[in-house]
């Protein structure tokens, strides 16, 4: 696979959201393979992780089309191609022809034609540009099919067939090569940690040999919201924790997972896992990043091949526990708040109650949006979608729906616990003149610590 | 051998064999696949409770989705319940099964069964029209969807024709009705009629997977 373009492609640091610069010429096909080889690679890699669960889902669909009505992309576009289960069509076809219990029949009688490279190319947009793997479609499905997981598997196929959208491939290759998808290399990270320490007069712990808590950051935070680093440090220092950032394992994002390269996903997870083991960490705190939670909390052990020797928490879970145990006392914030649940942390991660506990401790008036919490509408930027420029128009339409949903609460303040959602709100908010800011739950907590509760 | 003899004899036997063997083949074909163990630390114990819960919660859409798909679910219920009522509580059907199982049970008056069959047939036509007209459903539909519709609707139509004495020759009509049911049984294992089994497996799988995580499915 060609990776020569990785460092030549400039990152866009001026934009409100981080990505590579809008490519003048697109390279949405990677590597030199014949069409047949691409199809072959796609099918082999799709089948690789295939098991009972995915086969059940493939068998269970009754083509009712209900999933369309839960999908933020279909709701925004009205395009039937954006029906979630349709996004898997070539793979459903391939499953029936190659792997299902009736494959011999479909193949012999050619009842399901062989998938072509043109179909795969056409489906690139459906699998990458128009799915954040938010999983809302599962809620509406009468068969309860986990389409998001299947889309993840289809992405494995697409990556190995060299059919990843230009920008997503570039940032993924950059992450694999440099340790960060957005240029937050170890030395950049170290500089920025130091800078934030000075700026906020907070003690930063970096590259400690031993610590109970290993803290990760996402590239978006390191580059765009560095205050998150100061906020986390301030809270952990306040609680008297033994903690550290590590330059050999700091990046929480996992573009291997998003783009569909399981090998790279493993490499990225193992970097963190080995670092945590090396320093004897009992807890790894994940930053405000949705997919990072999915990658380490729910897929990390499966990458490692055995249960993780430490606990993994999203920062909102850590804060909720600290509030519960009385380790953190917070000032009252006299405001009404609407909370945007990141799909991968709440609906698909199970940490939905955590931010609510923290908001309660902050004494805010929480105004739940209609179809909020576990049923929340996705912001449309996750799953790597925000990196893809050609997906922008539809993403803004989704965000317009999102803004309407949040605005209808009448809340004075908007809060979330995912920096990718946050940058999507910031960028789309400017584009659509929303006139509001999306705030970080973590930063809100850090700003409202009751100092005399210090141990 | 008359057509009715054929329908009551070899056709039925062949249909039942294909029906049973086909179902077992398809279920075992999926269950025999390997499944990697999820090594992540469960948030809570008792994932199976979530699996059982999943069977029921997906029987009706969650509140925000009711305006969008409530009517579709309703039509689905009419079809499924209609099928069940006519099959089990129609006197001729009960007598047919009684011959096999050796006992009889309570049935509904013929008029009620006819009315239920008419309503179910109408619901099936509504479902078909929606499939043909709705852009999402039209796009995702394939041969199986229409074949399934046909083999499900045919027994209702031929059954109603038999009950209402609409065939030129009653016995041939009855034979056609029986054959239409055997066609349903023969097609059953090959298409989406298998959702009669998969709905339990799929709902349980998702329900239990997400119960160990928390969250919602």
Residues A159 and A186 in one domain: no
Q: Do A142 and B40 touch (CB under 8 A)?
A: no
Closest residue in A to B36 (Cα–Cα): A51
Angle, CA A109 vertex, CA A111 and CA A116 arms, to 5°? 50
Residues A229 and A257 in one domain: yes
pLDDT of residue A11: 84
DSSP string, A198-259: HHHT----BS-SS-SEEE-B-HHHHHT-THHHHHHHHHHHHTT--EEB-TTS-B---HHHHH
Instruction: Give the span between the Cα atoms of B7 and B3, in whole angstroms.
Output: 6
Whole-Å CA distances, A69 to A21, A73, A129, A137, A441: 33, 9, 18, 8, 30
pLDDT of residue A64: 98
What is the Cβ-side half-sphere exposure of residue A363, based on CA atoms within 13 angstroms?
Answer: 8
State the angle between helix axes of A35-48 and A147-160 in degrees (0 to 180), rounded to the nearest 10: 140
Question: Is the pLDDT score of A168 beyond 50?
Answer: yes
What is the Cβ-side half-sphere exposure of residue A429, based on CA atoms within 13 angstroms?
Answer: 19
The verdict on residue A3 lying in a domain is no
Which of residues 148 through 177 in chain B touch A, CB cutoff 8 A? none
List of long-range contacts for B16-24, beta carbons under 8 Å, 24+ apart: B16/B185, B18/B185, B18/B186, B18/B189, B19/B185, B19/B186, B19/B188, B19/B189, B21/B189, B22/B188, B22/B189, B22/B190, B23/B188, B23/B189, B23/B194, B23/B197
pLDDT of residue A8: 61
Residue B69: its chain A contacts at CB < 8 A?
66, 69, 140
Out of A135, A144, A347, name the one closest to residue B54 (CB): A144
pLDDT of residue B93: 96
Question: Is the pLDDT score of A21 beyond 90?
Answer: no
Domain that holds residue A328: 322-453
Residues A188 and A315 in one domain: yes
CB A215 within 8 A of CB A245: yes
Given A135, A163, A191, the domain boundary residue is: A163
Given A137, A163, A189, the domain boundary residue is: A163
Residue B60: its chain A contacts at CB < 8 A?
none
CB A314 within 8 A of CB A365: no
pLDDT of residue B47: 93
The verdict on residue A182 lying in a domain is yes
Average pLDDT, chain A: 94
pLDDT of residue A17: 86
Share of chain A above pLDDT 90, in %: 88
Instruction: Name the least confident of A36-45, A138-147, A268-277, A339-348.
Output: A36-45
Q: What is the mean pLDDT of residues A189-217?
A: 98
Q: What is the pLDDT of residues A85-117, one digit of tens each?
A: 999 999 999 899 888 999 999 989 988 888 999
Residue A52: its chain B contacts at CB < 8 A?
30-31, 33-35
Residues A345 and A432 in one domain: yes
Q: Is residue A45 very low, low, confident or very high in pLDDT (cuts 50, 70, 90)?
A: confident
Q: Do B26 and A102 touch (CB under 8 A)?
A: yes
Enter the tokens of residue A102.
Answer: 């009736």
Residues A348 and A219 in one domain: no
The verdict on residue A7 lying in a domain is no
Residues A444 and A377 in one domain: yes
Domain with residue A150: its CATH number is 1.10.1060
Q: Which 8-state DSSP code applies to residue A76?
A: H
Closest residue in B to A111 (Cα–Cα): B143
The verdict on residue A11 lying in a domain is no
In A288-398, the DSSP E strands lie at 311-314, 336-340, 365-366
> Shortest Cα distance from B62 to chain A (angstroms)?
7
Out of A144, A350, A370, name the one closest to residue B206 (CB): A144
The verdict on residue A361 lying in a domain is yes
**What ipTM does this complex have?**
0.96
Given A319, A350, A379, the domain boundary residue is: A319
Q: Is residue A415 very low, low, confident or very high in pLDDT (cuts 50, 70, 90)?
A: very high
Residues A302 and A326 in one domain: no
Q: Which spans in B40-90 are helix H?
A: 47-57, 66-89
pLDDT of residue A3: 41
> Shortest Cα distance from A57 to chain B (angstroms)?
6
Residues A307 and A247 in one domain: yes
Residues A138 and A189 in one domain: no
Q: Do A80 and B136 touch (CB under 8 A)?
A: yes
Residues A305 and A183 in one domain: yes
Residue B62: its chain A contacts at CB < 8 A?
139-140, 375
> Shortest Cα distance from B69 to chain A (angstroms)?
7
Q: What is the pLDDT of residues A353-408, one digit of tens each?
A: 999 999 999 999 999 999 999 999 999 999 999 999 999 999 999 999 999 999 99
pLDDT of residue A82: 98
The verdict on residue A169 lying in a domain is no
SS3 of B162, please? Answer: helix
Q: What is the mean pLDDT of residues A31-59?
A: 91
Q: What is the pLDDT of residues A280-304, one digit of tens each?
A: 999 999 999 999 999 999 999 999 9
Q: How many CB pairs under 8 A join A and B?
A: 171
Q: Does B67 touch chain A (CB under 8 A)?
A: no
The verdict on residue A77 lying in a domain is yes
How many domains does chain A fold into?
3
Residue B29: its chain A contacts at CB < 8 A?
100-102
Question: Is the pLDDT score of A166 beyond 70?
Answer: yes
Question: Is the pLDDT score of A50 beyond 90?
Answer: no
Q: Does B102 touch chain A (CB under 8 A)?
A: no
CB A63 within 8 A of CB B135: no
Residue A86: its chain B contacts at CB < 8 A?
139-140
Q: Do A348 and B215 touch (CB under 8 A)?
A: yes
Residues A303 and A328 in one domain: no
Q: Is residue A454 very low, low, confident or very high in pLDDT (cuts 50, 70, 90)?
A: very low
Enter the tokens of residue A74.
Answer: 């279909």
Burial of A441 (0-12, 13-18, 19+ CB in 10 A): buried
The verdict on residue A44 lying in a domain is yes
> Shortest Cα distance from A306 to chain B (angstroms)?
6
Q: Which residue positions in chain B have pLDDT lower than 70?
A: none
Q: Do B214 and A62 touch (CB under 8 A)?
A: no
Torsion of CA B90, B91, B96, B99, to 10 degrees: 130
What is the Cβ-side half-sphere exposure of residue A143, based on CA atoms within 13 angstroms?
Answer: 28
Domain with residue A339: its CATH number is 3.40.50
Residues A282 and A358 in one domain: no
């Amino acid at each position: 696979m060609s990776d020569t373009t990785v460092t030549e492609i400039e990152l866009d640091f001026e934009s409100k959201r981080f990505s590579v610069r809008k490519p003048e010429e697109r390279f949405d096909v990677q590597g030199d393979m014949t069409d047949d080889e691409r199809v072959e690679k796609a099918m082999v890699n799709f089948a690789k992780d295939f098991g009972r669960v995915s086969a059940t889902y493939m068998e269970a669909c009754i083509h009712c089309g209900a999933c369309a009505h839960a999908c933020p992309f279909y709701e925004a576009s009205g395009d039937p191609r954006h029906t979630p289960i349709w996004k898997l069509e070539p793979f459903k076809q391939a499953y029936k022809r190659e792997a299902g219990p009736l494959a011999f029949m479909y193949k012999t009688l050619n009842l399901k034609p062989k998938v072509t490279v043109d179909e795969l190319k056409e489906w690139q947009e459906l699998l990458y540009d128009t799915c954040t793997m938010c999983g809302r479609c599962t809620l509406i499905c009468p068969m309860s099919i986990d389409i998001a997981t299947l889309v993840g598997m289809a992405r494995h196929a697409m990556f190995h067939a060299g059919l990843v959208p230009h920008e997503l491939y570039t940032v993924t290759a950059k992450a694999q090569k440099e340790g960060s998808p957005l240029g937050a290399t170890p030395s950049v990270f170290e500089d920025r940690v130091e800078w934030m320490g000075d700026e906020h007069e907070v003690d930063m712990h970096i590259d400690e040999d031993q610590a109970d808590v290993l803290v990760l950051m996402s590239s978006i935070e390191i580059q765009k919201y560095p205050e998150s680093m100061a906020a986390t440090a301030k809270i952990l220092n306040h609680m008297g924790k033994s903690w550290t950032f590590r330059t050999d394992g700091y990046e929480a994002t996992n573009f291997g997972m998003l783009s569909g390269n399981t090998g790279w996903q493993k490499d990225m997870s193992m970097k963190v896992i080995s670092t945590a083991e090396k320093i004897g960490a009992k807890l790894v705190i994940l930053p405000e990043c949705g997919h990072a939670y999915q990658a380490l909390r729910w897929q990390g052990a499966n990458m490692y091949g055995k249960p993780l020797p430490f606990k993994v928490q999203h920062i909102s879970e850590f804060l909720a526990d600290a509030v519960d145990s009385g380790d953190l006392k917070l000032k009252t914030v006299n405001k009404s708040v609407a909370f945007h649940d990141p799909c991968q942390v709440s609906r698909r991660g199970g940490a939905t109650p955590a931010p609510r506990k923290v908001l309660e401790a902050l004494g805010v008036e929480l105004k739940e949006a209609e179809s909020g919490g576990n049923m929340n509408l996705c912001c449309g930027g996750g799953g790597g979608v925000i990196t893809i420029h050609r997906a922008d128009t539809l993403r803004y339409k989704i965000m317009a729906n999102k803004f309407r949903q949040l605005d209808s609460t009448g809340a004075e303040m908007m809060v979330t616990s995912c920096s990718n959602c946050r940058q999507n709100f910031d960028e789309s908010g400017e584009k659509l003149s929303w006139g509001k800011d999306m705030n970080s739950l973590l930063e809100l907590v850090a700003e409202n610590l009751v100092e005399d509760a210090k141990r | 051998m008359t057509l009715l003899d054929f329908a009551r004899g070899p056709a039925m036997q062949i249909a039942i064999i294909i029906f049973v063997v086909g179902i077992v083949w398809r279920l075992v074909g999926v269950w025999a696949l390997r499944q990697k163990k999820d090594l992540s630390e469960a948030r809570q114990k008792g994932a199976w409770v979530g699996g059982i819960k999943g069977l029921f919660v997906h029987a009706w859409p969650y509140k925000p989705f009711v305006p969008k798909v409530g009517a579709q679910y309703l039509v689905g219920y009419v079809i499924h319940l209609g099928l069940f009522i006519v099959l089990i509580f129609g006197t001729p059907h009960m007598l047919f099964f009684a011959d096999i199982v050796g006992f009889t049970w309570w049935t509904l008056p013929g008029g009620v069964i006819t009315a239920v069959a008419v309503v179910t047939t109408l619901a099936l036509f509504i479902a078909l029209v929606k499939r043909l007209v709705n852009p999402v459903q039209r796009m995702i539909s394939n041969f199986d969807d229409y074949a399934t519709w046909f083999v499900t609707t045919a027994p209702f139509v031929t059954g109603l024709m038999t009950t209402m004495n609409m065939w030129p020759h009653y016995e041939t009509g009855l034979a056609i009705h029986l054959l239409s049911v055997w066609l349903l049984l023969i097609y059953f294992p090959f298409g989406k009629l298998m959702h009669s089994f998969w709905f339990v497996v799929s709902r349980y799988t998702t329900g239990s997977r997400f119960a160990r995580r928390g969250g919602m499915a």
